[in-house]
Copies of this chain bind each other. A is one copy, B any other.
Amino acid sequence: MSLVIVGTVAFDAIETPFGKTDKIVGGAATFAGLSASYLYDNVKLVSVIGEDFGDNIDMLTHKGIDVEGVEVIPGGKSFFWSGKYHNDMNSRDTLITELNVLADFDPKVPISYQDCEFLLLGNLTPQVQQSTLDRLEKTPKLVVLDTMNFWMDVALDDLKSVLKKVDVLTINDAEARQLAGEYSLVKAAKIIQDMGPKYLIIKKGEHGALLFGDGQVFSAPALPLADVFDPTGAGDTFAGGFIGYLAKVKSVNFNNMKNAVIYGSALASFCVEKFGTERLQNLTQEDISLRLKQFIALSKFEISE
Distance (Å) between the CB of A86 and the closest chain B CB? 11
Chain B residues lying within 8 Å of A299, measured Cβ to Cβ, are 218-219, 221, 299, 301
Q: Would you call B217 and A298 a contact (CB within 8 A)?
A: yes
Q: Would you call B298 and A303 a contact (CB within 8 A)?
A: no
Closest residue of B by beta carbon distance from A205: B207
Given A207-B208, A226-B186, A226-B187; A289-B305 close (CB under 8 Å): yes
Contact of A207 among B207, B216, B218, B225 (CB under 8 A): B207
Query: In chain A, residues 214-256, which have Cβ atoms closer than 8 Å to a Cβ of chain B?
Result: 216-222, 224-228, 255
Number of chain A residues whose Cβ lies closer than 8 Å to a Cβ of chain B: 41
Chain B residues lying within 8 Å of A221, measured Cβ to Cβ, are 208, 219, 221, 299
**A268 within 8 Å of B by Cβ?**
no
Give Cα distance in the complex from A221 to B301, angstroms.
11
Closest residue of B by beta carbon distance from A296: B303
Query: In chain A, residues 244-295, which have Cβ atoms closer than 8 Å to a Cβ of chain B?
Result: 255, 258-259, 261-263, 289, 292, 295
**A150 within 8 Å of B by Cβ?**
no
Given A183-B87, A184-B226; A262-B292 close (CB under 8 Å): no
Give Cα distance in the complex from A289 to B227, angstroms.
38
Contact bitstring A172-202, B, C-beta under 8 A = 1, else 0? 0000000000011111000000000000000
Q: Would you call A186 and B224 a contact (CB within 8 A)?
A: yes
Residues of A within 8 A of B (CB): 87-88, 183-187, 204, 206-208, 210, 216-222, 224-228, 255, 258-259, 261-263, 289, 292, 295-299, 301-303, 305
Some 8 contacts from A to B, beta carbons below 8 A apart, are A185-B206, A186-B226, A210-B224, A217-B224, A219-B298, A262-B301, A295-B303, A299-B301
